[in-house]
Amino acid sequence: MAPKPAKANEQPPIIFFDGVCGLCNGFVDFLVREDRSQVFRFSPLQGETARRVLGTVEESSMDSVVLVEGDRISVKSTAALRIFRRLGGIWSLLWILRWVPVFIRDGVYESIAKNRYRLFGKRETCRIPSLEERGRFLD
């Protein structure tokens, strides 16, 4: 399944992530590498772009990846599945997991999110993009 092409006036999808989370940063590294069409833009939940686009981000929301596609905002497992779908290729096959009830998918997601710092570490500061990546990062 090919990624949905962006319309000329459409903003690229933005992935908001916990900028100090080791797991979240690993996911972003993976996406930067796999998103060969450079469809996605990235911003930490702790940044100014998140405050502007999402409003005040509550601490309880910091344990979720957030995908903004135009007017649609997806969180937790739904955001992750939509991201994989847009990546295309083999990753789009994960879209089939949308048929698993949300309460089950999000339950697994929340369990991992609750333990992410203990399992994957926590950074002192948000991720700093390389020179090549800077155009894809909003904060």
Q: What is the pLDDT of residues 85-136, one digit of tens each?
A: 999 999 999 999 999 999 999 999 999 999 998 998 988 878 788 888 899 9
The dihedral formed by the CA atoms of 96, 102, 104 and 105, expressed in degrees to the nearest 10: 60
63 or 74: which leads in pLDDT: 74
Question: From CA 139, how far away is CA 127, in angstroms rounded?
Answer: 10
Q: Is 31 exposed, middle or buried (0-12, 13-18, 19+ CB in 10 A)?
A: buried
Residue 34 has pLDDT above 60, yes or no: yes
Taken in order 78, 83, 89, 91, the sign of the CA dihedral is negative
Phi then psi for residue 13, to 5 deg, are: -65, 140
Residue 13 has pLDDT above 60, yes or no: yes
Beta-bridge partner residues of 69: 72
Report pLDDT for 56: 63
